[in-house]
């Protein structure tokens, strides 16, 4: 099954790009049972995308450092991950 990544209109902001990406990845099939799920498929996919966006060798360390130094992090503020 494929999920075409085609824009009807070109996103003019990063927030709209992430919003569009979230709507696409929310349609990904998920064969896990409820007891096996800790994160949604959308959070997992956006987490993977965010690693490429930040270009940091350790995404988690980068986010923890941002949280400590700035009081917030990209995972929550840019990507809406929970």
Rounded to whole angstroms, the Cα distance separating 4 from 33 reads 26
In a domain, 18, yes or no: yes
Domain that holds residue 55: 14-27+39-77
In a domain, 69, yes or no: yes
Reading the block at residue 25, the tokens are: 């990845």
Estimate to the nearest angstrom the gap between the alpha carbon of 5 and the chain centroid.
Answer: 15
In a domain, 9, yes or no: no
Other CB atoms within 10 Å distance of the CB of residue 33: 7
- Looking at residue 6, its pLDDT comes to 56
- Looking at residue 1, its pLDDT comes to 43
Name the nearest CA neighbour of 47 among 9, 16, 10, 73.
73
Number of separate domains in the chain: 1
In a domain, 65, yes or no: yes
Q: Which residues of the chain have pLDDT under 70?
A: 1-11
Q: Looking at the whole model, is its pTM more than 0.95?
A: no
- Looking at residue 2, its pLDDT comes to 47
- Tell me which DSSP letter residue 39 carries: S
**Tens digits of per-residue pLDDT, 11-24?**
678 888 888 888 99
Other CB atoms within 10 Å distance of the CB of residue 14: 11
Scan for tokens 């927030």, then name that residue. 15
In a domain, 47, yes or no: yes
């Amino acid at each position: 099954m494929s999920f075409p990544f085609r824009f009807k209109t070109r996103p003019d902001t990063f927030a709209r790009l992430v919003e569009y990406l979230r709507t696409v990845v929310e349609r990904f099939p998920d064969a896990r049972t409820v007891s096996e799920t800790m994160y949604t498929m959308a959070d997992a996919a956006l987490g993977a995308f965010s690693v490429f966006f930040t270009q940091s060798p350790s995404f988690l360390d980068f986010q923890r450092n941002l949280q400590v130094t700035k009081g917030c992090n990209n995972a929550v503020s840019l990507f809406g991950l929970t």
